[in-house]
Structure 1
Amino acid sequence: MKHRKMIWVITSFFVVITLTNCNKMDLQPTDQYTDENFWLSAANADLMVNMAYNQMYSADKMWDDEALSDNVFEGRSNTAQRVIRNGNADPSLGRFASEWEAAYGGLKTCHIYLDNIDRVPNIPASVKEQRKAEIRFIRAFLYFRLVNFYGNVPFFTEDISLSESRTLARTDKATVMAFIHQEFDAAMQLLPSKGNLSGADKARVTKGAACAMQARAYLYENNWQMVATYTDSLINHQDKFGSYSLFPNYAGLFTVANEYNSEVILDYGYLIDKKTWSKYYDAAPLSVGARLNAYAPLQELVDSYILLNGKTIDEDPSYNENNSYVNRDPRLAATVIYDGSQLQKPDGSMTTIRIRPGSGTPDTYVNASSNSTATGYYMKKYYDVQANATFQSGLNIIMIRYADVLLMNAEAKFELGMMDASVWNQTIRAIRSRAGFTDAGALDYPAGLPTAQMRRLIRNERRSELALEGLRYFDIVRWKAGPEFLSGTVHGAKFANNNTSYIVLDTRKFDEGRDYLWSVPRSEIDLNNNLLPNNSGYGN
């Protein structure tokens, strides 16, 4: 079995496979696969598993999800994410259709595999059961994306024909979520633990991944008791799931040198000479080789990082917005490139990035429509110094990691009224210590902090720890906090009007009656009226 990074072979391969019923009296072609001969090969079946992994997630999905949030600004064009955030989306928006089509394409792969794998000879029973569990995990993950974007969706658990797909109505979200939970639980029992995988198989789905994703699924339902149950299980029973721990170096988490480290529970694999992603070609500083900047962090993200003493910038009277990058959460420097940041160049040397107007470098802020940054910042997390000249990167994208499990545990215990010094020390304190905090004001349990302030602290900790990892938008949606974070003017650095005011960018709009769910794509409604009524606010 090849590493799941080897999935590039499947694209051209699948073009020639005909997954349709054939008349058994017909002569079988010798130069292409058919439904009759494809499933005679264990290697072919593994290629289908690889294809399903390929359809599950990607770097592009992560970055596009992040662009839906209040962390970043897409400034070069009117992208689908920007249209959504500015309140101008309608059912014909391309992102609504592409997300739907990609998920159902992946589901078809899963269903075809599950419908046919028992026909394949010469696969050990244990391997077959493991592959089935992997596919069931991927299928649950795809349905999870669908319901979080669209709410009620067409739901089925075996392959269906095109004509059948045009007659299905939408199934309520609760029913689909019940299935998702069932599948994650089933996969958890059948998948191997992290310690039982090695070599090329170490990127496969494990018991720990199923447990962590189950916790995330319950998190998005605000089912705090179940979140606590599954995160406690993963934290306290590593004999069952494998050994996970916080990687000692926060910035080092997101480098090729440290792939598959102790914190990674599940990632999406890339390989520099075979399968790559290239977001940083349009996101890195121009001085290190990017062609332009189309995707940059917002001032609102920068402002969310606390000071080294544990206070927010609004709480500490000594905070100086004209010298705003000193004494800040170390994760800021690991996530965002600001004026004066150090960055490694591809040749291994270090360079200082100068962005402030008047600096006279290619990275200098000019205006929101220039080739350089529109916000006065550049992204740093996932910057790959080993990428080639056009920033084709083989760096894996982490889908879920142990710090997220700790943060879920902290939030659930708080919402259940169980937050205390012990929980704090195991979760928030551990995460902050790893980040580089040493001040007691940041590390010690804030006993007596009012409920609203503690909730805000825990939520902001998620933002700081997980920024630019594609999760922020989903957190805002589950908190029903759209008006707080996704409405109003968004800003860049204090570089406007001779460095006296913050850059003013888009004015975003969030409609509480509409924007927690996406529209069913117009193209799908045109083919199947049973998908109506559409989600509120989008018409029919």
Structure 2
Amino acid sequence: MKKLLLIITCSVSLLACRKLDQPITREFTETAYWRDAQDALDALTSCYEHFSKDDYYFGDEGLSDNAYVSGTGFLNVTAVANGGYDPSNGRVTDTWGYYFTTIRRCNLLTDNIDKVPAMDEALKRRITAEARFLRAYAYFQLTNWYGDVPFFTSVLPIEESRSISRTGKSEVMQFIFSELTAIRNDLPVNNYSGGDGQYADKDKGRITRGAAIALSARIHLYNSEWQAAADDCALLINNTTNGSYELMGDYASIFTVANEYNREVILDLQYGGGKTNDKQRSFMPQTIAQLRSVLVPTQDLVDDYVMLNGKGIREAGSGYDENNPYQNRDPRFEATILHHGSTVTDFNGTVQTILTQPGSNPATNSVDDQGASPTGYYFYKYYDRTATNYQSGLNLIMIRYADVLLMYAEAKNELGQMDAATWNQTIRALRIRAKFTDAGATEFNAGWGQALLRTIIRRERRAELAFEGLRIYDVRRWKIADQVLTRPVRGIRVSSGAFNKDPNGYIIVENRTFTNPKHYLWPVPTFESDQNKNLGQNQGW
């Protein structure tokens, strides 16, 4: 159901179970459906099943300067990242179809839920609110990538589907904001059971009021609507009216099966049961995952992690030693990236030392091995040692409280309102949690101006949220994609071997192109424009 025309005309396919981590198990016809509340819940689960997917979550890192994807994996994001794509590109085509499928499923629910006889009104409002959230999220994704898009909130007749034109992005965005505001009171707050920071079973994975507020904040931030973003974030910071959220004590433990549904998670993509993913086989060293390593960190990401004193590696007084480049760095670096000399416990319980420099013995994970990381780095975050046959049931976090703090810090700085109190609530709190102790990293400096604070906040955002799929959105909204995505993809510094290197000895893996304004929007996919001439095309395509 990748094509809009097929999405609009296909028969309804709905889930038969309440759990959010189960695949479709049976089909229904519309005439035999909407019999009771369980049918409505199953229809909602069908919407959740099409919320997002791991190919996007991890592949989005490869779209940015955080990562490189070798080959055509993750729906050929490499072609998008290096500027060598067209309207038939796999990721461009898949994203359009995927989210219009989401919208169709949500429209089916909102169009038909009133048919359920004698349904509890509170339950009906909650189910409808969750579907409206998922539909709003789908429209947000579509407008982010394509700008103007076809817009409808009921299932379209076939003739209209062949002639519908695109609605302006600003109008769709206003709809998204109105939806996220309207549904808040119909959504539950996150419900903890006991003092262990875990959600009650009945609410696990469900959309909450906090998620609606956080998504609204994110979209306001992406639109540079600073006051609105700050106002949304303030509803969740040190305020339990809309949910109880706080930072976990240990950064690395957030991304583990043992700590799923922790108090920092606001919204996550559900896995487990019959729904798993094997993406860690693409980003871990091949001695761990037994496959080629194709989704790998870049040197540019590594270079942006600050020193323990809070200074960037090129700043005077940072203490950075190019001969010992991984010493005294932001502790989140070691929790996110494997480098030459890193140790990791494999699935058999054996501690492996990862060697990436050319000429290493063994050479399996070094840059001169064909199946190893071409940059000399590997992602470590989201490595799930509990995975059976490499199939992980670990949830992927879409929004967490740390992001709310970062959004609030950015919005307040852009408003010219960053002060010691806001710093302590946000950046300092994140750095203390990360185990920084040097006052240079943790304490606010009243002499910092807005521009320097902007650099600090953006760098903090990159380090805290690396490998969570958000960097590409940031560089696009900051309008720096045409700068950072025209730089070569670099790997480790080497002194030997037949590598293409820059003047400083760093491996050049790939050259990229990003044309402004063309590449700030993706093209309407070829199939869609062939079927409907009213869709038009974006600038430059």
User: How does the TM-score come out when normalised to structure 2?
Assistant: 0.92
Give aligned-pair identity as a percent: 44
- Residues of 2 paired with 1:270 and 1:253: CA distance? 15
Whole-angstrom CA distance in 1 between matches of 2:494 and 2:118? 66
Q: Which of 17, 22, 36 lines up with 1:7 in the alignment? A: 22
In the TM superposition, residue 496 of structure 1 has moved relative to its aligned partner by 5.4
Q: Kindly report which structure 2 residues correspond to 1:80-159, keeping only aligned pairs within 5 A, or say none.
A: 80-159=76-155
For 1:87-486, list aligned pairs within 5 A: 87-195=83-191, 198-238=200-240, 240-271=241-272, 273-316=273-316, 318-361=319-362, 363-367=364-368, 370-389=370-389, 391-486=390-485
The answer to whether the Cα contact below 8 Å between 2:36 and 2:119 also exists between their aligned partners in 1 is no
Contact 2:340 2:355 in 1 (8 A): yes
Matched, 1:528 2:529: no
Cα deviation per residue 1:20-77 (whole Å; 9 max; x = unaligned)? xxxxxxxxxxxxxx32211114323222111111111122211121111000011234
Task: Give the Cα separation in 2 of the matches to 1:170 and 1:382.
Answer: 38
For 1:339 and 1:121, the matched residues in 2 are separated by 63
Gap change, CA 1:66 and 1:3, over 3 Å in 2: farther
1:40 aligns to what SS in structure 2? coil
- Relative to structure 1, the CA distance from residue 2 to residue 426 in structure 2 (aligned partners, 3 Å threshold; closer, same or farther) is farther
- Quick one: distance in 1 between partners of 2:539 and 2:132? 31
Contact 1:3 1:201 in 2 (8 A): no
- Residue 504, structure 1, aligned to residue 519, structure 2: no
1:144-202 Cα distance to aligned partner (Å, 9 max, x none): 00000000000011111232111111100010000000011112121011127621422
Q: C-alpha separation between the residues in 2 aligned to 1:50 and 1:190?
A: 17
Could you say if the C-alpha distance between residues 496 and 125 of structure 1 is closer, same or farther in structure 2, counting changes exceeding 3 Å?
farther
Distance 1:187 1:61 in 2: 26
Equivalent position amino acid for 2:405 in 1: L
Q: Would the alpha carbon gap of residues 44 and 495 (structure 1) be closer, same or farther in structure 2, given more than 3 Å must change? A: farther
Q: Which residue matches 2:6?
A: none
Q: How big is the shift at 1:283?
A: 1.7
1:50 matched residue in structure 2: 45
- Taking a change above 3 Å as real, the CA distance of residues 340 and 535 of structure 1, as seen in their structure-2 partners, is same
- Counterpart-to-counterpart distance in 2, 1:77 and 1:118: 45
The 8 Å contact of residues 47 and 105 in structure 2, kept in 1 or not, is answered as yes
What is the CA RMSD across the aligned residues, in angstroms? Answer: 1.7
Task: Note the alpha carbon deviations across 1:192-248, whole angstroms, 9 max, x for none.
Answer: 11127621422100000000001001011000000010001111421x112100011
Which residue in 2 is equivalent to 1:20?
Answer: none
User: 2:11 maps to which residue?
Assistant: none
SS at match of 2:509: strand
1:28 is matched with which residue? none
Instruction: Please list every run of 5 or more consecutive structure 2 residues that lacks an aligned counterpart in the other structure.
Output: 1-15, 193-198
Residue-pair matches, total: 513
Structure 2 CA distance for aligned equivalents of residues 519 and 496 of structure 1: 42
Counterpart Cα distance in 1 of 2:367 and 2:137: 42
Conserved? CA contact 2:20–2:48, under 8 Å: no
Partner Cα distance (2:18, 2:57) in 1? 22
Structure 1 partner of 2:4 = none
Report SS of the residue matched to 2:290: coil
Distance 2:277 2:483 in 1: 33
Q: Contact between 2:68 and 2:296, CA under 8 Å: does it hold in 1?
A: yes
C-alpha contact 1:7 1:51 (8 A) present in aligned 2:
no
Query: What's the offset of the Cα at 1:366?
Result: 3.5
What is the rounded CA distance, in whole Å, between the counterparts of 1:364 and 1:63 in structure 2? 21
- Give the letter aligned to residue 268 of structure 2: D
- The one-letter code of the counterpart of 2:94 is S
What amino acid is the match of 2:200? S
Q: Which amino acid aligns with 2:512?
A: R
Distance in 2 separating the partners of 1:246 and 1:179 = 32
Is 1:35 the equivalent of 2:48? no
- 3-state SS, counterpart of residue 235 of structure 2: helix
More displaced stretch, 369-378 vs 191-200? 191-200
Greater displacement, 283-292 / 191-200: 191-200
Judge conservation of contact 1:3–1:203 (CA < 8 Å) in 2: no
Deviation at 1:3, TM superposition (A): 5.1
Q: Kindly state the Cα deviation for residue 313 of structure 1 after the two structures are TM-superposed.
A: 0.4
SS of equivalent residue, structure 2 residue 399: strand
Aligned equivalent of 2:523, options 505, 519, 524: 519
8 Å contact kept, 1:153–1:171? yes
The CA distance in 1 between the partners of 2:289 and 2:59, in whole Å, is 22
CA distance in 1, matches of 2:366, 2:348: 25
Q: Secondary structure at the match of 2:31?
A: coil
SS at match of 1:357: coil
Unpaired runs of at least 5, structure 1: 18-33
Q: Is the 8 Å Cα contact of residues 211 and 267 (structure 2) preserved in structure 1?
A: yes
Show CA shifts across 1:465-499 (max 9, x none). 00100100001111011122111211001135359
Structure 2 counterpart of 1:69: 64
TM-score of the two chains, using structure 1 as the length reference: 0.92
Which SS does the other structure have where 2:456 is aligned?
Answer: helix
Residues in 2 aligned to 1:128 and 1:333: alpha-carbon distance in whole angstroms: 46
Counterpart code for 2:540: G
